[in-house]
């Protein structure tokens, strides 16, 4: 469906947004800089969370690592620890690697064009467009969830925005709308408009400057646009954590690749097909890591927690096991477990599920 010429003229769209933007924009720290590093940091964080929740993370990163060289030189554990709570830890690792790539291959200078920025690890079309326009004023349109929504509604685009093949329809339209003389302001304006005026559930159509030209409003389709097919249902995984303790020692291990939470620390894990772990299986699991257990040593009750990720749900139970002896070195080697004091585990990067358990339950 194409209502582009019947609903609104292109110059009107940009002009309206550029008038609306200075009167409504939020004052955000990354809007006061043209430093591509700071802009890149803010964009990576904002892909994970909303502005309000992202602000403290932005300040943590920019204060801890004021330049790309600082970030590149930081230990990965520390970067992941600062990222803790944002989820999708692969993004933090990619961000760290990208910083190292910029230092190593680009003499610590970010590429200054959209095409050049796309060569960086973990930098996709959206982030490249954001940096190229905000830092270098390149005329390249950003497409994020806010932009998809505004374009779908104002121009009556009914293509499914969850289908990657439809991206080009929106990109072509956005590229015709972005003015050559104010690309940065236009990109900021359309994203901000989607974030605070044309919001997903309660857009402020009554006081909207695009109302008389908005296809969705004029045709009673605001709640139907954009069209977005549902993601597949998340699968449920059942995690049984053995919280192995001896005196002041707590055993944790760093998670490996090819699963969620790579590089973060958790406890010894038994994954099962259901939410239960039989007593005999618990005994066997402790013996398998070289510990001795009689069931009197297991604290009751075990604690159950549910943690929802975008593509899987984790239901976790924590079985605290007090060991009579420290784990032998051979089992530390085979399991990847390492001994920490309770103050040391505070500093480790951890999935938020584990961090919450520790803060509630480990004294």
Based on its alpha-carbon atoms, the radius of gyration of the chain, rounded to whole angstroms, reads 25
- Of 189 and 216, CB closest to ligand SF4: 216
- Of 222 and 227, CB closest to ligand SF4: 222
Please state the separation of Cα 159 from the chain's center in Å. 25
224 classed as catalytic: no
CB of 139 to ligand SF4, least distance (A): 23
- Of 223 and 361, CB closest to ligand SF4: 223
> Three-state SS string across 220-278, please?
CCHHHCCCCCCCCCCEEEEEEEEEEEECCEEEEEECCCCCCCCCCEECEEEEECCCCCC
CB of 362 to ligand SF4, least distance (A): 48
CB of 248 to ligand SF4, least distance (A): 58
| Helical segments of the chain, H only | 4-7, 10-24, 36-46, 51-64, 68-73, 76-83, 89-105, 114-117, 125-136, 145-155, 167-177, 183-196, 215-218, 279-288, 329-335, 342-347, 352-361
The catalytically annotated residue of 19, 43, 192, 276 is: 43
339: left (phi > 0), else alpha (psi -120 to 50), else beta?
Answer: beta
Question: Which chain residues interact with ligand SF4 by CB under 6 A?
Answer: 153-154, 197-198, 203-205, 208, 210-211, 214, 216-217, 222
CB of 210 to ligand SF4, least distance (A): 4
- Of 75 and 220, CB closest to ligand SF4: 220
CB of 157 to ligand SF4, least distance (A): 12
Residues 6+ apart with CB under 8 A from 160: 166, 227, 228, 229
- Of 228 and 253, CB closest to ligand SF4: 228
- Of 134 and 217, CB closest to ligand SF4: 217
Q: For residue 263, give both structure tokens.
A: 């590089």
Q: Is the peptide bond before 22 cis (omega within 30 degrees of 0)?
A: no
CB of 185 to ligand SF4, least distance (A): 18
Asked whether 289 and 330 are in contact (CB, 8 A), the reply is no
- DSSP letter, residue 317: E
CB crowding 83-99: b at 16 or more within 10 Å, else e = bbebbebebbbbbbebb
What residues are labeled active site?
43
């Amino acid at each position: 469906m194409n209502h582009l010429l019947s609903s609104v003229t292109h110059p009107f769209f940009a002009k309206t947004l550029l008038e609306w933007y200075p009167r409504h924009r939020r004052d955000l720290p990354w809007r006061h800089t043209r430093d591509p590093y700071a802009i890149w940091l803010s964009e990576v964080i904002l892909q994970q969370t909303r502005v309000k929740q992202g602000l403290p993370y932005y300040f943590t990163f920019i204060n801890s690592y004021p330049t790309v060289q600082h970030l590149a030189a930081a230990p990965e554990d520390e970067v992941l620890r600062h990222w803790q709570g944002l989820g999708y830890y692969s993004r933090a690792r990619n961000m760290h690697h990208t910083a190292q790539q910029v230092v190593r291959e680009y003499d610590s200078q970010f590429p200054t064009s959209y095409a050049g920025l796309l060569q960086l690890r973990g930098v996709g079309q959206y982030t490249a467009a954001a940096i190229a326009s905000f830092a270098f004023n390149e005329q390249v349109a950003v497409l994020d969830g806010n932009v998809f929504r505004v374009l779908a509604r104002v121009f009556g685009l009914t293509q499914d925005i969850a289908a990657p093949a439809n991206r080009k329809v929106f990109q072509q339209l956005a590229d015709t709308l972005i003015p050559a003389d104010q690309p940065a302001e236009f990109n900021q304006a359309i994203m901000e408009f989607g974030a605070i005026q044309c919001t997903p559930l309660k857009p402020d159509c009554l006081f909207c400057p695009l109302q008389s030209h908005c296809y969705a409003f004029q045709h009673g389709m605001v709640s139907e646009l954009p069209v977005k097919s549902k993601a597949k249902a998340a699968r449920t995984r059942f995690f049984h954590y053995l919280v192995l303790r001896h005196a002041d020692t707590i055993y944790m291990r760093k998670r490996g690749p090819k699963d969620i939470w790579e590089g973060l620390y958790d406890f010894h894990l038994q994954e099962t097909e259901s939410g239960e772990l039989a007593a005999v299986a618990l005994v066997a699991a402790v013996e398998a890591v070289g510990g001795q257990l009689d069931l009197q040593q297991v604290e009751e009750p075990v604690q159950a927690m549910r943690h929802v990720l975008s593509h899987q749900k984790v239901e976790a139970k924590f079985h605290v096991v007090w060991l009579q002896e420290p784990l032998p070195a051979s089992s530390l080697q085979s399991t990847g477990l390492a001994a920490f004091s309770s103050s040391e585990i505070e500093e480790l990067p951890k999935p938020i599920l584990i961090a919450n358990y520790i803060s509630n339950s480990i004294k």
